[in-house]
Chain A
């Protein structure tokens, strides 16, 4: 690849408890404009991979590069000013703030850009513009997910990290969430998303990494993996053969 990847996570080793590594030598590349999926069974280390890119888990070995710059273990507010946005899986809105205030927090470091970014975000999520004065705490799970994504987009990120955007949503809402993600990506934002719903994720993403026990076990385009019979085996073990 001639072009410098937007995000390059190189052989990461990371974990929460001393002595226990969740990630073991895990790598990931995201190029400009790509929609990258991270899938794998529970406990494979998907969220941990995302959090170690965003400096929320201490990286014990390996490096994270952003456009060629070393951002390993950088603090969250530094990463935000470098254009990395992160949407956690749960508790991802400020419930006592209105939708508009939530979005304002997104541009906390550059308040002057609010109007311009607000327009961009409400183009993708028109509902947020219509209901700007509503408290985020009164929203449903799907609506909160929109607010959270909208807030992350406010900084005009060069890369957006999403931790299970479909979690806790009804099937219809899940589909809507995926399509929104696709739309955000089409607007030019590089997206790295962790997903539980592997099939949906694979349908929309350009490339995906399949994690197994803290390692990147497979990678390929979404379509290739979608039709790969090994996927079922990975998720459900060898159970089906018994």
Chain B
């Protein structure tokens, strides 16, 4: 929901940007807040209540888990924070009777929300007040906005999906730890850009380099030795699941569970009925350039052609004099760099936390499988389809189900055409 607002309307965008900034402040100033609060509970839930960009004080918020209940009211800046004693999923409710006259929830039932503290010690809860910005738009305008979002999201997915696809094509590995490379890219972007205050381009390059190095290390330290042992592909797939869990929780331990705001939302740009940000526009251009670059790499360069040759037939490639292991290593580095870049761009537009990559992993698999396993073009087409399905479907079904819609599309297409949209039949086995 929150990811959507930023791309949907100016008000919502600014609203979210403010909230996000506030969170990072909250976090930085956590000890001070803790001192104000007599409670020393280790976990906290917080948020800010805004109506039409204006803070709303004195709204009562209640958090409940089993028999534990506590309430606070918002301060003059509309902020609230509740500290709680144990982990769990808290029900958080806004008392509508305490809202000022004339102020209502945007959605019916929007006064009840939840805070998931099972994995982290901090959770943000947003309540959306005032008129919805969506309803004013006509159907065709809405569709246009969605298609735009779908294109943007699909291109981002494509860059990461090509990474999966290249690795699958050359080694046969279904890498479940791929999502963590997206996360790594986004979080290192945050480190360089927000943490170390580097310029945006230097930060992006730095983050991509970190992920590329991670890809190199992964292949050298884990996957190559396993290939040497001639481990079965399904077995390797399960190893990648384990690796993904380890990587994810290391990221959680290092970066914490909060959502990082990396780009601050960017400046609003209007294209007809579409409100978007300059970051989204630049990101879109970068994605197109990178996709073209990958296409050129694969079709024009010696290494790129050798990559396709290895995907076609590794043993023939070896018999032709190509050092297959070297190509695979290069593929790991290139694929990781691409995936890291996807993470950087994703993080700039939508913020990121330790679960960012994991959340979109299945969409990436869906994209790759949909397009036909192992072809870069297929992965791109698949990713654009998935991006579109995700965004356009939310016009017709509840927003929380948009990822589910993409997965259902995947299942349906596999039933009709198991080799994928562009795949070759012999790959099914």
Chain A directly contacts chain B within the complex, with at least one CB pair under 8 Å:
yes
A binding-site residues for B, Cβ under 8 Å:
54, 56, 75-77, 80-81, 86, 88, 91-97, 101, 104-106, 108-109, 111, 151, 155
CA distance A96 to B307 in the complex (A): 11
Chain B, range 260-312, C-beta contacts under 8 Å to A: 302, 305-306, 308-309, 311-312
Instruction: Give the secondary structure class of A's interface.
Output: loop
CA distance A151 to B320 in the complex (A): 8
Please tell me if the beta carbons of B320 and A106 are within 8 angstroms of each other in the complex.
Answer: yes
CA distance A91 to B306 in the complex (A): 16
**What number of B residues sit within 8 Å (CB to CB) of A?**
17
A56: B residues at CB distance < 8 A? 319
Please tell me if the beta carbons of A94 and B302 are within 8 angstroms of each other in the complex.
Answer: no
Asked whether A97 and B316 contact (CB < 8 A) given A80-B321, A108-B322, the answer is no
Pull 14 A–B residue pairs with CB atoms less than 8 Å apart, ordered by A.
A76-B321, A77-B318, A80-B319, A80-B320, A80-B321, A81-B321, A93-B316, A94-B312, A96-B311, A96-B312, A104-B302, A105-B322, A108-B306, A108-B321
CA distance A198 to B46 in the complex (A): 84
Please tell me if the beta carbons of A97 and B305 are within 8 angstroms of each other in the complex.
Answer: yes
B312: A residues at CB distance < 8 A? 94-97
B313 at the interface (CB under 8 A from A): yes
B107 at the interface (CB under 8 A from A): no
Q: A81-B321, A94-B308, A105-B309 are in contact. List 8 more A-B contacts (CB 8 A).
A: A86-B319, A88-B316, A93-B316, A94-B313, A94-B317, A101-B305, A108-B302, A108-B321
A151: B residues at CB distance < 8 A? 320
Asked whether A109 and B321 contact (CB < 8 A) given A91-B313, A94-B316, A96-B311, the answer is yes
A-B interface, 9 closest residue pairs, ranked by CB to CB distance from nearest: A80-B321, A94-B312, A76-B318, A94-B309, A76-B319, A108-B322, A109-B321, A77-B321, A101-B305
B323: A residues at CB distance < 8 A? 77
Q: Smallest Cβ distance from B98 to chain A, in angstroms?
A: 65
Asked whether A77 and B316 contact (CB < 8 A) given A97-B308, A111-B302, the answer is no
CA distance A155 to B321 in the complex (A): 9
Contact of B322 among A77, A86, A92, A96 (CB under 8 A): A77
B306: A residues at CB distance < 8 A? 105, 108
Please tell me if the beta carbons of A91 and B322 are within 8 angstroms of each other in the complex.
Answer: no
CA distance A215 to B312 in the complex (A): 35
Q: Smallest Cβ distance from A150 to chain B, in angstroms?
A: 12
Q: Smallest Cβ distance from B317 to chain A, in angstroms?
A: 7
CA distance A221 to B371 in the complex (A): 55
Max chain A C-beta neighbours (<10 A), residue from B308, B311, B321, B322: B321
CA distance A93 to B317 in the complex (A): 9
CA distance A241 to B293 in the complex (A): 69
Q: Smallest Cβ distance from A54 to chain B, in angstroms?
A: 7
CA distance A7 to B337 in the complex (A): 46
Asked whether A92 and B316 contact (CB < 8 A) given A104-B302, A105-B322, A109-B321, the answer is yes
CA distance A111 to B322 in the complex (A): 12
Please tell me if the beta carbons of B309 and A54 are within 8 angstroms of each other in the complex.
Answer: no
B316: A residues at CB distance < 8 A? 88, 91-94
Closest residue on chain B to residue A109 by CB atoms: B321
A interface footprint on B82-125 (CB within 8 Å = 1, 0 otherwise) = 00000000000000000000000000000000000000000000
CA distance A233 to B19 in the complex (A): 90
CA distance A86 to B316 in the complex (A): 9
CA distance A101 to B321 in the complex (A): 14
Please tell me if the beta carbons of A96 and B308 are within 8 angstroms of each other in the complex.
Answer: yes
CA distance A105 to B302 in the complex (A): 8
CA distance A96 to B321 in the complex (A): 18
Max chain A C-beta neighbours (<10 A), residue from B312, B316, B323, B375: B316
Q: Smallest Cβ distance from B377 to chain A, in angstroms?
A: 10
